[in-house]
Amino acid sequence: MVSTATQIGDFHFDNCLMNAAGVYCMTREELAEVDASAAGSFVTKTGTLAARAGNPEPRYVDTDLGSINSMGLPNQGFQYYLEYVTELQNQPGSKHHILSLVGLSPDETHTILKTVQASDYEGLVELNLSCPNVPGKPQIAYDFEMTTEILTEVFTYYTKPLGVKLPPYFDIVHFDQAAEVFNQFPLVFVNCINSIGNGLVIDDESVVIKPKQGFGGLGGDYVKPTALANVHAFYQRLKPSIQIIGTGGVRTGRDAFEHILCGASMVQIGTALQQEGPAIFERVTAELQAIMAEKGYETLEDFRGKLNYID
Ligand code: DHB
């Protein structure tokens, strides 16, 4: 019997596959579709203090090798998502979920997290330190001082299970420095990676998305090796109490297998879910189970993190 069940912190999931924040998660209707699929969970669109319309369209485009987007944080406001995950939490037999959040300033982030702390929601929260698409707002997680300052303040009042969504890092020294920061805090997980920020896709002689003169976050096949490197780099460096969620370039069971081999406890699907719809979870789960069965693995623990090196 092959199982793709997993656990993040104290929360059990029957399947390790779920959506990546930003895809199929803007409204209750989309979230309910993911919830009704073979996915083990869903994460909400990153909620801000006030609802946002986001950037002008076109702001997401599929390409042969993935996607480019500059959505600009369109969302219904964090209270909308907080209410929905709280409602589901109180339904017997419900899956567990992840609430994604960030403020447009540190003050806003603290206002949001203090509201969640005071709420009835006891589930997982993902603080998004890696949105690349709001003009004039740099990604928090590329500033280690700012990241340390925000997390230090957060953990003076926040006692519920919290993880962070990270951008890709590209230098071994940055892996070391980032891990040193995150190891100082009682985080439950880090999620690697958000899109590779500020790529540029050209069709004929023009950019393909309107915001930021065409610059946008890359997802899909383009990003898998970077995602795997980040998952494994953090798996090697973080204390065992901080688990890894692997995101980036997952389209097949083989991709999910590689993320788990690198150390992921949960695996998220973004671009490929956008392209294929929630039926993708059944396909990728079956493909992952087939690989496990062929190799004689019964659970994810049988191969998680057990990447082979060449001596
Ligand atoms: C958006 C994109 C991101 O990669 C993210 O982490 C949050 C928001 C966006 O453009 O909406």
Flag whether 63 is in a domain: no
Q: How far is the CA of 75 from the centre of ligand 1 (A)?
A: 10
Residue nearest to atom 6 of ligand 1 (CA): 131
pLDDT bucket at 72, cuts 50 / 70 / 90:
very high
pLDDT at 137: 82
pLDDT at 168: 98
Q: How far is the CA of 2 from the centre of ligand 1 (A)?
A: 35
Flag whether 184 is in a domain: yes
Flag whether 256 is in a domain: yes
Flag whether 211 is in a domain: no
pLDDT at 286: 98
* Atom number, ligand 1, closest to the C-alpha of residue 73: 11
Residue range(s) defining the domain that contains residue 148: 6-54+73-196+221-302
Query: Is pLDDT at 35 greater than 90 in this prediction?
Result: yes
Query: Is pLDDT at 1 greater than 90 in this prediction?
Result: no
DSSP string, 99-166: EEE--SSHHHHHHHHHHHHHSS--SEEEEE-----STT---GGG-HHHHHHHHHHHHHH--S-EEEEE
Flag whether 37 is in a domain: yes
Flag whether 151 is in a domain: yes
Where in the sequence numbering do the catalytic residues fall?
A: 131
Residue 194 in marked binding region: yes
> What are the residues whose beta carbons fall under 8 Å from the beta carbon of 260, sequence distance 6 or more?
16, 246, 267, 300, 303, 304
Mean pLDDT, to the nearest integer, of 119-140? 93
Residue 125 tokens, joined: 């929260």
Flag whether 309 is in a domain: no
- CATH number of the structural domain spanning residue 97: 3.20.20.70
Task: Give the whole-number percent of the chain exceeding pLDDT 70.
Answer: 100
Residue nearest to atom 11 of ligand 1 (CA): 73
Residue nearest to atom 1 of ligand 1 (CA): 73
Provide the residue type at 52 as one letter.
Answer: R
pLDDT at 200: 98
Q: How many CB atoms lie within 10 A of CB 34?
A: 24
Among candidate residues 233, 269, 253, the one with its CA nearest the CA of residue 37: 269
* Atom number, ligand 1, closest to the C-alpha of residue 59: 10
Mutating to test ligand 1, I would choose from 43, 69, 100 the residue with most ligand atoms within 8 A of its C-beta, which is 69
User: Contact at 8 Å (CB) between 24 and 274?
Assistant: yes
Residue 130 in marked binding region: no
pLDDT at 86: 98
pLDDT at 265: 99
pLDDT bucket at 132, cuts 50 / 70 / 90:
confident
Q: How far is the CA of 1 from the centre of ligand 1 (A)?
A: 38
Residue 88 phi, psi dihedral angles, 5° rounding: -65, -40
Flag whether 248 is in a domain: yes
Residue 69 in marked binding region: yes
Number of domains in the chain: 1
- pTM score above 0.85: yes
Query: Is pLDDT at 134 greater than 90 in this prediction?
Result: no
* Atom number, ligand 1, closest to the C-alpha of residue 70: 10
Each residue of 185-234: pLDDT tens digit? 999 999 999 999 999 999 999 999 999 999 999 999 999 999 999 999 99
Q: Is residue 246 classed as helix, strand or coil in its secondary structure?
A: strand
Pocket of ligand 1 (CB under 6 A): 22, 46, 54, 70-74, 128, 130-133, 194-195, 217
Q: How far is the CA of 8 from the centre of ligand 1 (A)?
A: 23
